[in-house]
Structure 1
Amino acid sequence: MTENSTVRPSAAAGVLGAATVAMGLIAGVFYIFACDVMPSLARSDDRVFIEVMGNVNDVIQNPVFFLSFLGALVLTAVSAWQSRRSPHRRWVWAALAAYVLAFLVTMVVNVPLNDRLADAGDPARIADPAAVRERFEDTWVAWNVVRALLSTAALACLARALFLHRGAYPSAYLASAAGSRASR
């Protein structure tokens, strides 16, 4: 193997690994909203629900979240490009397709709902908080489940690709040790 051929799989593995981690973080965010945050908020009265969701929507817009939210997309896209000639490419491309759909759901459904909730104003001054909540909650929750499922599927595909990538490029160290007495 030339030096160039050993560096390339390592770099590709690094990007694939980073994409997998970023995807896991985002899948976890959507999962925790589906399994805990929204069911917990469902127990709250209308004004509390609107106030807490408004606070969540404000606070989540931070560099750490955007690094993983956008990083999962960019790193998966880069990994898809890097793997275009690899045996595991279909898994990476499937992950990219699933996450692009989750990303679009976020941009087309969840973010506009968040914006409408914010536009309703101060929860203490909303004339009919039940109506505001009614227009938000069920749709937001349902589409969050969709994006949780899509990002979890993307994570599973990336994990599979990472596993297959490892098999396609075995460690040079382990390969050289295979014939040595130390490996027996």
Structure 2
Amino acid sequence: MTVLDVLDVLVVVAVPLMGLAGGTFWAFSTGVMPGLRRTDDDTFVTVMRSINRAVLNPLFLVPIFLSPLLLAWAAFLELGGPRGLLLLSAALVYFVGAVVVTLVGNVPLNNALDGSVSASKDARAAFERRWNILNGIRSGASVAAITLAIAALTHGPGTS
């Protein structure tokens, strides 16, 4: 297997993984959170606490955290060329927009909601709007990174 073959495999694995993570973010933005918006405060807090605990599993975590590593590895294999720049851009956009936002934004909000002793109305008010904004950033970053990674595949050897 050549370096270019390895690069293609890395990207072909990273893109669906980002799609799974980004699709999860998108599903929350377009279905889960709008559905929960229609519930009372106690139901909202109970359901989000349950989801936040359930999501801590390899099927959710591996796609989120493995994707930028694969893209960075692929970018390293193609340093200096247009593919390398696209792959590095994809890795950085995804890492900052999905991974960092998750770790410094969504997770602390999840933890605060989980540990809150405030009334459900107050806990929800401190959580919902901020969490939704951050989740929108994760969704957008996932789409942008997937687009950049696919563009890198189309700029392979022999393409213009």
TM over 0.5: yes
Matched, 1:29 2:24: yes
Q: Moved runs in structure 1, 4+ residues, more than 6 A?
A: none
TM-score by length of 1: 0.81
Note the alpha carbon deviations across 1:25-64, whole angstroms, 9 max, x for none: 1111111111111111101110110111111111110011
Match of 1:107 in 2: 103
Which amino acid in 1 is paired with 2:148?
Answer: C
TM-score by length of 2: 0.92
The question of whether the paired residues in 1 share the 8 Å contact of 2:3 and 2:77 is answered with: no
Aligned length, in residue pairs = 158
Displacement of 1:86 after TM fit?
A: 3.4
Match of 1:159 in 2: 150
Displacement of 1:83 after TM fit?
A: 1.8
Matched, 1:118 2:114: yes
Note the alpha carbon deviations across 1:144-175, whole angstroms, 9 max, x for none: 1011111110011011111222xx158xxxxx
Displacement of 1:87 after TM fit?
A: 3.0
Match of 2:126 in 1: 135
Match of 2:66 in 1: 71
Q: RMSD value over aligned CA atoms?
A: 1.5
The question of whether the paired residues in 1 share the 8 Å contact of 2:20 and 2:63 is answered with: yes
Match of 2:34 in 1: 39
The question of whether the paired residues in 2 share the 8 Å contact of 1:19 and 1:79 is answered with: no
Q: Give the Cα–Cα distance (whole angstroms) in 1 for the partners of residues 25 and 4 of structure 2.
A: 31
The question of whether the paired residues in 1 share the 8 Å contact of 2:75 and 2:83 is answered with: no
Note the alpha carbon deviations across 1:47-89, whole angstroms, 9 max, x for none: 1101111111111100111111111121111112112143311
* CA 26–113 in structure 1, closer or farther in 2 if over 3 Å, else same: same
* CA 79–58 in structure 1, closer or farther in 2 if over 3 Å, else same: same
Q: Give the Cα–Cα distance (whole angstroms) in 1 for the partners of residues 23 and 158 of structure 2.
A: 29
Which amino acid in 1 is paired with 2:7?
Answer: A
Match of 1:146 in 2: 137
